[in-house]
Amino acid sequence: MAEYVKIKLNGNEIELPVIEGTENEKAIDISKLRAETGYITLDDGFGNTGSCKSKITFLDGEKGILRYRGYPIDQLAEKSSFLEVSYLLNHGELPSKTELEKFERTVKEPTLPVEICALLDDFPKTAHPMGVAASAIAALSCFVPRENLDITKIDKDQVLGQLMESISIISARFFRHRQGKKIIGSDPNLSYVQNLYNMMFGEIPSDEVKKALEVLLILHADHEQNCSASAVRVIGSAQSNPYACISGGLCALWGPLHGGANQAVMEMLESIQADGGDYRKALDRAKDKEDPFRLMGFGHRVYKNFDPRAKIIKKATDTVLEQLGVEDPLLDVAKGLEKVALEDPYFVDRKLYPNVDFYSGIIYRALGIPTDMFTVMFAIGRMPGWYAQWRELVDFKGSRIARPRQVYVGENERDYILMENR
Ligand code: CMC
């Protein structure tokens, strides 16, 4: 039976329908609220606002659950591959062998236009890799057939393949370019992850390194309506082309409160170490409301229990460091910081736990990836998720342009004052 909530505004009672998801999540549908009452809702940071219905990713922040298309993240991280997960996110089902082979060919086929390669080689070596990636993906839209910019004509799988291949070539090429090293082209005989590593380091990764990268990319592949996915959807709602949408997603991810946190965590751990390793000082600063400093890699808008990705990454960090024979003193700093934070009432009361970015940087570092490349590694993983979110949006009949309202709190009407009278 349909459920409704009744609210009383200005003496009038109205009924608003309750929408229920497949995991019993409930939402009040307020789409008729303004038309019927003149009121809007105000929700700074969208903490209580559902922006869409989605079949892609389910997460329960209280229970620490994350599933892609119904499959638990720990099973996917253990048993699947990044390419298979990319297919799953975009098509809704795990691929058959033939479907996966076809998808792999679609991803491997595209090459980067020579003009984009030249553009990459012209960026200053000091440029941030996220700025480079966002610019190069936007620039890619200038070198594709016009059909690729028309969302009614576009071949969606072909463009997904092109974007996945391009982001890995762009990141690896710029990584080598800024070190003044010879560029290594994409090798279609290698798997996606092997190829990425080979383009960066000029060698095929060991099985352990390959597995670690697969896991990291899988864990980052989607996370429902986060800041960058919402950016992709907002841009896409104007029927902008997917290159523009993804470039916008990259810009959103870059920020230190979102994907840029992995770089910020490493910089924080390094500064704690340089300061004698006293992580309690960092903890005190994070609790001080007069100090803008936050414990990077801690807290999450949605997870109020352990971030399930952080659990998997923490375990993987120990395994990878042991397999590679790497001893990183920053891991001890991170573990010490985590321990004291989890026992501290400030963090306990606010339900602040380590998030995905807290340990990921230690693995990237062990693999030889420099700190300012961490966020672009996240972006390589997130590409199929962004694309799946964009695809779901454009395939949804009746999707509307995203156009929030506001509560205006500025000046009331006043007359223009001539310059000489000001
Ligand atoms: N260090 C210290 N205090 C914190 C932290 C932190 N990392 N995170 C939240 N708080 C406090 C915050 O000051 C507030 O305290 P009070 O209630 O006394 O005012 C309370 O906890 C609630 O925080 P909020 O800012 O309202 O939470 P939010 O949901 O708006 O922000 C967040 C979520 C992830 C932006 C935030 O926790 C944060 O800034 N964390 C550090 C950056 C980070 O690690 N980001 C990566 C997120 S996971 C990866 C991804 O998004 O892709």
Are residues 102 and 224 part of one domain?
A: yes
Are residues 390 and 298 part of one domain?
A: no
Cβ proximity of 379 and 232 under 8 Å: no
> Per-residue pLDDT tens for 58-89?
999 999 999 999 999 999 999 999 999 999 99
Task: Choose the catalytic residue: 177, 222, 300, 344.
Answer: 300
Average confidence (pLDDT) over 394-411? 96
| Res 230: pLDDT | 98
| Res 277: pLDDT | 85
Q: CA nearest 162: which of 193, 177, 141, 191? A: 141
Are residues 383 and 350 part of one domain?
A: no
Distance of alpha carbon 397 from alpha carbon 11, whole angstroms: 36
User: What's the start-to-end Cα distance of the chain, in Å?
Assistant: 64
Task: Choose the catalytic residue: 222, 307, 344, 357.
Answer: 357
348: domain CATH number is 1.10.230.10
> Per-residue pLDDT tens for 109-130?
888 999 999 999 999 999 999 9
Are residues 240 and 351 part of one domain?
A: no
Q: Is the pLDDT of residue 390 over 80?
A: yes
Q: Is the pLDDT of residue 278 over 90?
A: no
Q: Is the CB of 296 under 6 A from ligand 1?
A: yes
Number of domains in the chain: 3
Domain that holds residue 379: 71-257+373-395
Q: Is the CB of 172 under 6 A from ligand 1?
A: no
Q: Is the CB of 297 under 6 A from ligand 1?
A: yes
Are residues 183 and 197 part of one domain?
A: yes
- Other Cβ atoms less than 10 A from the Cβ of 65: the count is 15
- Other Cβ atoms less than 10 A from the Cβ of 281: the count is 12
Assign 259 a pLDDT band (cuts: 50, 70, 90). very high
Q: Which residue's alpha carbon is at the smallest distance from atom 45 of ligand 1? A: 257
Phi, then psi, of 5 in degrees rounded to 5: -115, 145
Is residue 405 assigned to a domain? no
Instruction: Say how many Å lie between the CA of residue 354 and the centre of ligand 1.
Output: 11
Q: Is the pLDDT of residue 1 over 80?
A: no
Distance of alpha carbon 352 from alpha carbon 337, whole angstroms: 13
26: domain CATH number is 2.20.28
Q: Is the CB of 249 under 6 A from ligand 1?
A: no
DSSP H helical ranges for 60-152: 73-79, 82-91, 97-108, 114-122, 129-140
The DSSP H or E segment spanning 286 is: helix 279-287
Q: What percent of the chain has pLDDT over 90?
A: 90
Q: Is 300 among the residues known to form the active site?
A: yes
Are residues 92 and 153 part of one domain?
A: yes
Ligand 1 nearest atom to the CA of residue 298, by list position? 7
| Res 306: pLDDT | 86
Is residue 351 assigned to a domain? yes
Token output for 291 = 């100090």
Tell me what the pLDDT averaged over the chain comes to. 95
> Per-residue pLDDT tens for 315-326?
999 899 999 999
Is residue 197 assigned to a domain? yes
Instruction: Say how many Å lie between the CA of residue 300 and the centre of ligand 1.
Output: 6
Are residues 241 and 108 part of one domain?
A: yes
> Per-residue pLDDT tens for 84-95?
999 999 999 999
Assign 279 a pLDDT band (cuts: 50, 70, 90). confident
| Res 373: pLDDT | 97
Assign 284 a pLDDT band (cuts: 50, 70, 90). very high
Beta bridge mates, 17: 4
Contacts of 121 (CB under 8 A, 6+ apart): 173, 177
Is residue 66 assigned to a domain? no
- Other Cβ atoms less than 10 A from the Cβ of 393: the count is 23
Is residue 414 assigned to a domain? no
Token output for 419 = 């310059």
Q: Is the pLDDT of residue 12 over 90?
A: no
Are residues 384 and 306 part of one domain?
A: no
Q: Which residue's alpha carbon is at the smallest distance from atom 4 of ligand 1? A: 294
Is residue 80 assigned to a domain? yes
How is the chain split among helix, strand and coil, in percent rounded to 5? 55, 5, 35
Are residues 251 and 288 part of one domain?
A: no
- Counting ligand 1 atoms within 8 A of each CB, the residue from 269, 348, 350, 374 with the most, and so the one to mutate, is 350
Q: Which residue's alpha carbon is at the smallest distance from atom 17 of ligand 1? A: 350
Average confidence (pLDDT) over 354-380? 94
* DSSP helix/strand/coil, 27: strand
Assign 39 a pLDDT band (cuts: 50, 70, 90). very high
Beta bridge mates, 4: 17
Are residues 178 and 79 part of one domain?
A: yes
176: domain CATH number is 1.10.580.10
